A and B are shown apart, each in its own frame.
Chain A
Amino acid sequence: MADVTLRKVIKRYDEVEAVRGIDLDIADKEFVVLVGPSGCGKSTTLRMIAGLEDITDGDIIIGGDVVNDVPPKDRDIAMVFQNYALYPHMTVAENMSFGLRLKRYPKAEIKSRVTEAARMLDITDLIDRKPKQLSGGQRQRVAMGRAIVRNPKVFLFDEPLSNLDAKLRVQMRIEIKKVHQKVRTTTVYVTHDQVEAMTLADRVVVMNHGRIEQIGTPNDLYHKPATRFVAGFIGSPAMNFVPCRLEEVGGRLNIRLTDRIAFPLPAARAARYQNVARNEKLILGIRPEHITEAKQHTEPGVETFDVVLDVTEPMGMETLIYFMLEGIEVCGRVNPNAGARDGAPLRLAVDLNNMHLLNESTGVVL
C-alpha cells in the first residue's frame, strides 16, 4: 500500500521523446488507468514505474521513496503483462509462489497465500497444471494471482485484457474490479480501450504524444473534456465535430453550422461564450446521444432541423444514424421507432445544453 508520484518524468530514446514530462499523483488505494492511442507513451510510463525502463529525467516516488535508481525487484511492485508472461515450465502454484520462494518466505506462509489467492480468483482446481494446459482467461487469472500473492505496494497492469476475446474481456474486467475492491492495492492500469478505462478507473489519465491531455474521473472526462483529443477519444460512437461560428442576431447569440442551419444558444451557453471573438473559427462538439429524433413538445435549448439520412445502423435498443453536414459525417442516436431509414428524410433535435465549443486551431474546449 503506497502512493505513487511522478515528477516531470521524461523518457528519451536516442532521437525520439516517448514521454515528455509527466506529472501525476496517485493516491494510496487508488485505481488509475492510463489510456491513449498506441505510441502515446502510456506503456513506457508504466514500465518506468516498474523499473523496467530507465527514466531520462524527473523523479518517480513510490511510498515516499525516490526509486529512480532502484531495480524492479526492490521496488515492491507486481506487474501483469499483456501476454501473461507465465513461466511455461512451472505449474500454476509454482508460478504464483515464485516471487515468495525467491524471497525465502516460510513454506507454510507461501502455501496459505497461494491458496488464498487461488480461492479469490477461482483457480483452485488448476493449481497443479502447467500454463500450456490453461485457457487465455485462466492464464490471465494466474498472472493476477502471481501479483496478488506478493502483496506488493503497487499493482501494475499492462494491457492485461488485450489478448482475450470480447466476452471474456468483459468478464475479466469485472473480475479485476472485484479483486481491487478486496485487496485495495494502489493500481496503475494501462489500456488503449476507453471502455476499460471508464469502467475500471477511479481516475483516468488520457495520454497523447507522450503528454497527459487530461486527468479526471470517468464522468469528468466524458462530460467536461478539456481538449478535442479527449472529447474525441472518450465515448463510442465518438463525439461529432462540426465547424461553426458565432453570430449575433437581434442581441441573441446564435451558432451557425451551415448557411441553412443556425441555432440560438441557450442562455447559460450564450453567457459562457460571450467573450469569444465572432469571427473565430470554432468547432461544435456534440455527442451522438444529444442528436435524437424531434419530440412533440419543445424543451429549452433543444433545437430541431431537417436532414436526409445516409446510413442507419439498427442496434436494437437504439438506431445509429449518419448524415452529412457540409461534407462532414455526423452521427446521432434515435429511438428504433423513430422511422429512420437509409436515404430517408428525418427531423432531428439537437440538445445544445450538452454542446461543447472548441477553438479550431488550439483544440481547447472553451
Chain B
Amino acid sequence: MVDVAFQPNRVAGAKSARKRSSLKTALKRKSTAAFLMTLPLILLITILVLYPAIYSLHLATLNKSMQRFIGLGNFEFLFKRDTFWLVVKQSCIFAITAVVFKALIGFIVAHFVHNIPAKGQRKWRGMLLVPWVIPPAMSTLAWLWLFDPSYSAFNYTLSFFGIGPIPWTGDANWARFSVILVNIWYGAPFFMIMYLASLKSVPDQLYEAAAIDGANWWQRIWYVTLPMMRNIIAITTLFSLIVTFANFDIVRILTAGGPLDHTHIFATWAFRIGIEGSDIPLGASVSLFMVPILAVAAIFILRDVNKRGNEA
C-alpha cells in the first residue's frame, strides 16, 4: 500500500492490468463457467418452452379473432360448457387408469424378467421394450386396424368363441377402454425397464436377510422390495402421469375424440377447438388447464421423494 501511494503512475497501470485479469478470473470462476456451459440449454428452453408457454397465456386472454383482450372470458365460457367438464372427467379417468395399470403390469413383468437367468434376459428385455420404441403414431395405426369395425382381427378371433362383434371404437365405453388399452400397451415397457433397474439395485443380501428373518415371498415384496423402490415408483409415476395426461397421438389416431367427444382429453380437445375449430385462444385456454392439475400431483409426489431422500 505504501509504495503505491508514492507512485501514482503505478496505480493506473495496475488498474488496467486488473481489468484484463478480471475477465480471466471471471471465466475461471466455476459458477461463470457453469453458466456459460448451460447457456445453450437455457436458450433452447427459453425459445421452445418459456416463450410458447407465455405466448399461450397471452393467447388465452384474446377473443376468437385474436383482436381484442377479453381477460378471463375464455375460461368463463369453458366453465359453462358440458363438453369441457366431460373432457376434464375423461382426462382424469384416462390418465389415472392408464398409469395405474402401466405401473402394475410394469411391476409384475419386471419381476418376471428379473427372475429370468442372466443369459436369456437381454433378449426378453429387448423384446418387451418394442412397444415403447416404435413411434406411437405408427403402432396406433396398427391398433386401429385391429379395432376396425368391419375387419377387426380381435372380433374375428372372438367370433370363434361366440363373442362379439364388439364396437371397439364405436361405443363410448368401449372406445374409452380401447384408448386406455393402447396407452397401457405403449407405456408399460417404460415402467418395466425403470422397475427392473431399480430391482437390480436392491442388494441380494437384503432378501437373504429377510428370508432368514422368516419373510415369505409376499412379505419380501411388501417389506423389502416396495420400500426400496418407493422413490423410483414415485418419480416414474409422476413422469408417466404427466406424459399420459398430455397424450395426444393415440387418442387422435384411434378415435379422434369420438364417438360424440366421449374419448376427448385435454390435448385432443384443445387441438379440435384451436386448430380444427379455428378458435386458437379457446384452444390455448383448454391446454392451460393441464398445468394446475399436474402441478398439484408433482408437488405431492416430489415432496414425498424429498422427505425420504436417499435412505441407502
Residues of chain A at the chain B interface (Cβ within 8 Å): 50-52, 71-73, 77-79, 81, 83, 85-89, 98-99, 102-103, 130, 132, 146, 150
Contacts and interface: CB of A to CB of B under 8 A. Distances in A.
B212 A102 contact: no
A86 B228 CA distance: 12
B311 A102 contact: no
Interface residues of B, number: 20
Contact of A77 (B212, B215, B227, B230): B212
Given A85-B203, A98-B215, 8 more contacts: A72-B208, A81-B205, A85-B206, A85-B209, A99-B213, A102-B215, A146-B213, A150-B213
B312 interface: yes
A98 B214 CA distance: 9
Contacts of A132: 311-312
CB-CB nearest 4 A-B residue pairs: A99-B213, A85-B205, A85-B209, A89-B227
A59 B213 CA distance: 23
Interface of B: 203, 205-206, 208-216, 219, 223-224, 227-228, 230, 311-312
Interface of A is mostly: loop
Contact of A79 (B209, B228, B312): B209
Contacts of A88: 228, 311-312
B212 A87 contact: no
Contact of A102 (B203, B208, B219, B228): B219
Contacts of B228: 88-89
Nearest to A102: B214
Contacts of A73: 211-216
Contact of A81 (B209, B224, B312): B209
Contacts of A86: 209
Given A52-B208, A81-B205, A130-B311, A87 B224 contact: yes
B213 A102 contact: yes
Contacts, number: 64
Contacts of A72: 208, 211-212
A83 B205 CA distance: 8
A72 B208 CA distance: 9
B311 A98 contact: no
B215 A87 contact: no
A126 to B, nearest CB: 16
Nearest to A150: B213
B214 A99 contact: yes
Contacts of B205: 81, 83, 85
Nearest to A74: B214
Contacts of A51: 211-212
B306 to A, nearest CB: 15
Nearest to A78: B212
Contacts of A83: 203, 205
Contact of B223 (A52, A71, A79, A87): A87
A98 B223 contact: yes
A50 B213 CA distance: 11
A87 B202 CA distance: 10
B303 to A, nearest CB: 17
A78 B228 CA distance: 22
Nearest to B208: A52
B201 to A, nearest CB: 12
Contacts of B219: 102
B90 to A, nearest CB: 37
Contacts of A87: 206, 209-210, 223-224, 227
Contacts of B210: 87, 98
Contacts of A98: 210, 213, 215, 223
8 contacts: A52-B211, A87-B210, A87-B223, A89-B230, A99-B213, A132-B311, A146-B209, A150-B213
B311 A79 contact: no
A158 to B, nearest CB: 9
